[in-house]
Amino acid sequence: MGDKREISRRTFLNYALMGTGGFLAAGMITPMLRFAVDPLLQGHAGGDMVAVGSPDDFGPDPKRVEFKVHTKDGWYESETTLSAWIRKLEDGTILALSPICKHLGCTVDWNTSPDFPNEYFCPCHMGRYAINGEHILGTPPTASLDEYETEIKDGKLYLGAVKANPRAGVSG
């Protein structure tokens, strides 16, 4: 046992202080990392579709329906009320349109303007849309109303995510 290295008091204190400081720093940083990364690791429970009624409840004229969806923004969770204009097309398929005007985000209504009957009308800036959500050329909106994904399952109509309306504008 002849080759024993002695460490100085200063070196021992440096090692002890660095070890203690590292332990305390790890103790503080670990919960912060967990807090920041946890929402990314969480899975989404349930489906993205919301039941809004029976397909038989809807006819050729648009009907406004309000429904609630669970919204999660980081750590904040809430129930948000959304609405849709829903109608049954001639071939039996369902068309669900978002009521949000594509001009400045106001809410459109169906058949409320006496000057433009049987159209969606935005009172904010006189935006107009045809019955299938196509924007009417020459009015402020430059795109058609968005559509909700639809699914019929077990006799109920479900609405999903909003997608862009593929229909082009029409002349009015």
- pLDDT tens column, 133-169: 888 888 888 889 999 999 989 989 999 888 888 877 7
- Predicted confidence at residue 39, as pLDDT, reads 66
What's the count of helices (H) and strands (E) in the chain, helices before strands?
A: 1, 9
pLDDT for position 46:
47
94's tokens:
């369902």
The confidence score (pLDDT) of residue 73 equals 76
- Domain extent listing, the chain: 1-42, 50-163
Closest CA to 54 of 159, 155, 148: 155
Query: Rounded distance, CA 145 to CA 124, Å?
Result: 15
Cα–Cα distance for residue pair 132/118, rounded to 1 Å = 11
Q: In this predicted model, what pLDDT tens digit does every residue of 102-117 receive, in sequence order? A: 888 889 999 888 888 8
C-beta contacts of 123-128 below 8 A and 24+ residues apart: 127/101, 127/102, 127/103, 128/172
One of 2.60.40.1930, 3.40.1500.10, 3.20.20.140, 2.102.10.10 is the CATH number of 50-163, namely 2.102.10.10
